[in-house]
Chains A and B, each alone.
Chain A
Amino acid sequence: MGRTIPLPMLILAVLGFCYMLLPILVVVLAGLTAGEFLTFPPEGLSLRWVVAFLQSEKYLSAFFFSFRLALLTMIVATILGTAAALFLSRTRFIGRGAMRAFFLSPVVLPGVVIGFSLFAFYISTGIGLTRTIWGLWIGHILYSTPYVIGTVGAALASYDVSLDEAARSLGASPMRTFRKITLPNISQGIQAGSIFAFIVSFGQFEVSLFLSAPNAEPLPIAMYNSLRYKFDPSAAAAGIFAIILVTASVLLTNRLVNIGRLLEKK
């Protein structure tokens, strides 16, 4: 057994890893501080801010609101994104490339732009979505769906269409073919896309800033608002829970996917 990665690459990889993990470490340690203010390094370790978070009506409701919002966003984004990816990969027409780029544009557009455009749209059309839960949900769906289109699109790109053709000529209708053949073979892409959608929605800040209703703030907005007035370590404690939730959802899905593999092998 030899090392298969050249040493310089390995060093770079470790550095990159540290670079990505450091902010997380800072948040976790800051949330565990024993001091009165949000500082780093922390002034001694304690769970007092974690307890404060768990007792804070404002943070807890924001946390669970974000959770529900991300879950509902994930469901709609997964359905829309999968349908869009299928349409883009299965049809041939002039302007398909442009359409794909358009569908994926929310990934590259700054969130501020999307948030502001929707905000302006809601206000100018007066369709009653300005600063409502529904308006916020729509914004999150718009922002998350491209991630599903991306991952499902990648799964479909390597999908062998003759599998579908074989199923059709063996007697399966288009709908049955999709359910019994296509779907099981692109499910990994769909699952990856839906985790992405969940995480992206859960951490979304800019779109929420413009669209969230005053009585229903998602967690990032709640943290931002409280930090504006008070340098309160319970925001970092809230961050700890957000990190735990996201990590757990990734690990859980990973596990589910692998269990699926194992079951298949019998």
Chain B
Amino acid sequence: MSSVEFQGVSKKFGGTVAVEKTDIAIEQGEFFSMLGPSGCGKSTTLRMLAGFIAPTTGRILVNGRDITDLPPEARGIGIVFQNYAIFPHMNVFDNIAFGLVERKQDKATIKRKVEATLAQVGLTGYEGRFERELSGGQKQRVALARVLVIEPEILLLDEPLSALDKQMREEMKFWIKDIQKSIGITTVYVTHDQSEALTMSDRIAVMNEGRMLQIGSPVDIYEKPSSRFIAEFIGDSNLLRASVTELTDTGCVVDLGEGVAVPARVSDAVSVAPGEPVGLLLRPEMVRLMPAHDGEKPRLSGKIVDEVYQGALRRYRVAAGTHELVVEVPNRPELVRMAAGTPVDLFWSAESGVAVP
């Protein structure tokens, strides 16, 4: 039995479709992210699960129970909002105690649970503070504590890190993931930041225009995207114009033009046919760049267009025939720097190329 199940769920606002018919099954204890650009329907999906929006069609099940028609207060689902929604007229203690008070628990139990949760989120001693006396990161912790203290079946997080600065975001990413793992709570996480999704998730659903394009592990999504949109939305990508020449056990062989044939993998979610035009996805870090020399036959040859220094990396733009691609080289002193115009050879392993329709 799945922890959360969407069965044919869709949502229309007037004439516009915010979420198209969706089927998802999320497992117990899973960290499930919904990733996509602004306006793609992530929040709408999450809010249907929380009970703030009624689906136009379909059913939502939590642990096998149909909750589609239950009001939010009867769902036992905790949600953390982008702006945290700390009650401004209550101090930290009362904020965290709110759900317990609504559950009519006795004073001593409430005090004990609130204190334990405060310790868990590292805010012991902050009981008396008000929202305006807390930093962004602390508000975040209070919002999470307020939800965790009622021990919900499901935890929902709607872009919880987007209001924090970069450093805080990095820190909270791991902190949230740690807490989630230690409690083992099923979590649905909404973000438009691919690095958050890749670091934290067990599975990611990539969304665009109300549709779930691909659902898979971070490795699947990054290394075998099922479409151009996903390839370009997640990470940096080179997409070379190619066409399929033959199918193989591991994927296919694509033709890059001028008689260059290279092997490529294909996502399980899609199928390609010989003759079909595809994009060959090559991540910038997967390509090896060498000054041209006789010896091992390169997959492509070309010339350096320019170099951008990025601290940990150097990014080279390379023109190879009709293709142009970006290659990242680790910034190590023993690797020679290549000036614009230098003839270069490009290598990559057979597993690195992915054909995307």
Residues of A participating in the B interface, judged by any CB pair closer than 8 Å: 160, 162-163, 165-174, 176, 180-181, 184-185, 264-266
Contacts and interface: CB of A to CB of B under 8 A. Distances in A.
B81 A168 contact: no
A266 to B, nearest CB: 7
A168 B89 contact: no
A168 B70 CA distance: 12
B218 interface: no
Contact of A185 (B52, B71, B89): B89
Interface in B92-136: 98-99, 102-103, 128, 130
Contacts of B85: 160, 162-163, 165-166
Contact of A172 (B81, B102, B128): B102
Interface stretch (B72-80, B205-213, B285-293, B329-337): B72-80
A169 B73 contact: yes
Given A162-B81, A165-B50, A264 B102 contact: no
A171 B73 contact: yes
Contacts of A160: 83, 85
B87 A163 contact: yes
B83 A165 contact: no
Instruction: Please provide the 4 A-B residue pairs with the shortest distance between their CB atoms, ordered closest to farther.
Output: A170-B99, A171-B102, A168-B72, A166-B85
Given A168-B73, A173-B73, A162 B99 contact: no
Contacts of B102: 170-172, 176
Contacts of B77: 169
A171 B150 contact: yes
Given A176-B102, A266-B128, A169 B79 contact: yes
B283 interface: no
Contacts of A180: 98
Interface string B48-64: 00111000000000000
A165 B73 contact: no
B147 interface: yes
Interface of B: 50-52, 71-73, 75, 77-79, 81, 83, 85, 87-89, 98-99, 102-103, 128, 130, 146-147, 150
A81 to B, nearest CB: 21
Nearest to B79: A169
Nearest to A264: B89
Given A165-B52, A185-B88, A264-B89, A172 B79 contact: no
A167 B103 CA distance: 12
Given A170-B147, A171-B102, 16 more contacts: A162-B81, A163-B88, A165-B81, A166-B79, A168-B71, A168-B73, A169-B52, A169-B73, A170-B73, A170-B98, A171-B103, A171-B150, A172-B102, A184-B89, A264-B89, A265-B130
A184 B147 CA distance: 21
Contact of B72 (A163, A165, A264): A165
Contacts of A169: 50-52, 72-73, 75, 77-79
B73 A166 contact: no
Contacts of B71: 168, 174
Main secondary structure of the interface of B (DSSP, over half): loop
Contacts of B75: 169
B42 to A, nearest CB: 16
A166 to B, nearest CB: 4
B286 to A, nearest CB: 42
9 contacts: A162-B81, A165-B72, A166-B79, A169-B51, A169-B79, A170-B73, A170-B98, A170-B99, A180-B98
B81 A170 contact: no
Contacts of A264: 89, 130
A184 B71 CA distance: 23
Contact of A170 (B51, B83, B128, B150): B150
A181 B87 contact: yes
A181 B130 CA distance: 15
A167 B88 CA distance: 12
Interface centre among B51, B83, B98, B128, by most A CB within 10 Å? B98
B73 A172 contact: yes
Given A172-B73, A181-B87, A185-B89, A166 B81 contact: yes
Nearest to B14: A92
Nearest to A177: B73
A58 B75 CA distance: 63
Nearest to A181: B87
A124 to B, nearest CB: 43
Contacts of B128: 266
Interface centre among A165, A170, A174, A185, by most B CB within 10 Å? A170
A59 B228 CA distance: 84
A167 B78 contact: no
A163 B79 CA distance: 11
A174 B71 CA distance: 10
Nearest to A172: B102
Contacts of A162: 81, 83, 85
A165 B51 CA distance: 9
Contacts of A184: 89
A160 B131 CA distance: 14
Contacts of B72: 165, 168-169
